[in-house]
Amino acid sequence: MPSQPKDLNDLFHETLKDIYFAEKQILRALPKMAHKANGEQLAQAFEQHRTETEGQIERLEKVFEMIGKNPRGKTCDAIMGIIDESKEVMEDFANSDALDAGILAAAQAVEHYEISRYGTLIAWAEQLGLSDAVPLLEETLAEERRTDVLLSKLALASINVKAAA
């Protein structure tokens, strides 16, 4: 008996599981990145984003509830690759002025991934009539964008200058 073709609801759910897994991994990685950062401002940015990530996970759990699914993740190879790269940077540049620039770049790669995922989920939620989910996803997208802007400002104001010296 052939299986039913998958639809946008299925894709929404699969992508929700993907970003849920990613957020959980990011939550685990941020304290390590904050600890390794040389600059206090960068460490504080990571700690602040850790707190935001906890709220993002809670909002995702609400979206799972709205679609009648249990919150659970599925392995996200993309985020695992980005996190592995950040670990490599932290090891390879441990005693370098370039360490913070490398950690910051890895963090921005995470932000850009999340921004793309949340933008997609918002569009799909709107298409699927999940109007209660849209503001939750938009709130998270706004946080991810603010974090990306903050990281860019830190990079340009001091971190990249120190790394280049």
Q: What is the pLDDT of residue 165?
A: 84
* CATH code, 8-164: 1.20.1260.10
Residue 1 confidence (pLDDT): 59
CA distance 140 to 54: 11
What's the N-to-C CA distance of the chain in angstroms?
A: 66
State residue 2's pLDDT score. Answer: 62
* Ranges of the chain with pLDDT below 70: 1-2
- Provide the pLDDT for residue 61: 98
Neighbouring CB atoms inside 10 A of 13's CB total: 18
Half-sphere exposure of 55 (CA within 13 A, CB side): 14
CA distance 75 to 20: 9
Q: How far apart are CA 150 and CA 85, in angstroms?
A: 21
> What pLDDT is stored for residue 117 in this prediction?
97
pLDDT in the model for residue 95 = 86
Classify each residue of 42-75 as buried b or exposed e, where b means 16 or more C-beta atoms within 10 Å of its C-beta.
bbebbbbbbebbeebbebbeebbeeeeeebebee
